[in-house]
Amino acid sequence: MIKKNKPNETIVIDAVVGAGKTSYMEMLSEEMKIPCFQEPVQENPLLDKFYYDRKRYAFPLQIYFLNRRFEMLKQASESGEPSLMDRSIYGDMIFAKMLYEKGDMEKDEFILYRDLLTNMLDHVEAPKLMIYLKIDTDSAIERIKKRGRDYEQIVERDYWENLNKEYEDYFSNYNLSPLLVIEAAKYDIVGNLKDREKVLQIIREAM
């Protein structure tokens, strides 16, 4: 389904919810002086509705994210310059697969989503570097609570646990580009300068 197209100059940061993708992307953007494309969360009209009624909004939310990710990839490609991407279009299937297997997405919806993603991937280049922020579920939940988004607080632990397992399974088999795995719970890149410098060193070496 996924082609190994030629790589571009994009660095992608991917991880389960709460791992710290945005903080890492802002850090790298500041240090490397390159633009970033953030995951469409704040302006997303469906995200909060999804967490209150997953079965009703699973499919339209996935289509919304897929469309926006493809749009951002086109913008990054057209610029021809290095850029940072918050979450990968490749990993977008992780959510859809889990929602389908849990019964929150109908089979025909999942097939439609999969076919649309397959067509898009014909036009997507692999990133220069994929950074996966690996984190245990409890640490991710703790960060989600600190972040304080109301709609995330109502989500049961099993959802985050299953999502994290899907991410770990996916990235244990990822081979589309160079992959850097960072143990996100070990580092506080926002409040600890030594941790920040250590992580930057790890990423520079990977590049």
CA angle 53, 56, 58 (to 5 degrees): 90
**Residue 201, burial from CB neighbour count under 10 angstroms (0-12, 13-18, 19+):** exposed
Q: Which amino acid is at 84?
A: L
Q: In this structure, are residues 163 and 156 in contact, taking their beta carbons and an 8 Å threshold?
A: no
114 labelled ligand-binding: no
- Kindly give, in sequence order, each residue whose CB lies less than 8 Å from that of residue 76, ignoring residues fewer than 6 positions away: 8, 10, 37, 83, 85
Which residue in 14, 53, 86, 158 is the catalytic one? 86
54 labelled ligand-binding: no
14 labelled ligand-binding: no
Is residue 86 part of the annotated active site? The answer reads yes
168 labelled ligand-binding: no
125 labelled ligand-binding: no
87 labelled ligand-binding: yes
List the binding residues for ATP: 143-147
Residues annotated as binding site for substrate?
39, 51, 62, 87, 92, 152
Q: Any idea which residues carry the catalytic annotation?
A: 86
Q: Residue positions in the annotated binding site? A: 39, 51, 62, 87, 92, 143-147, 152
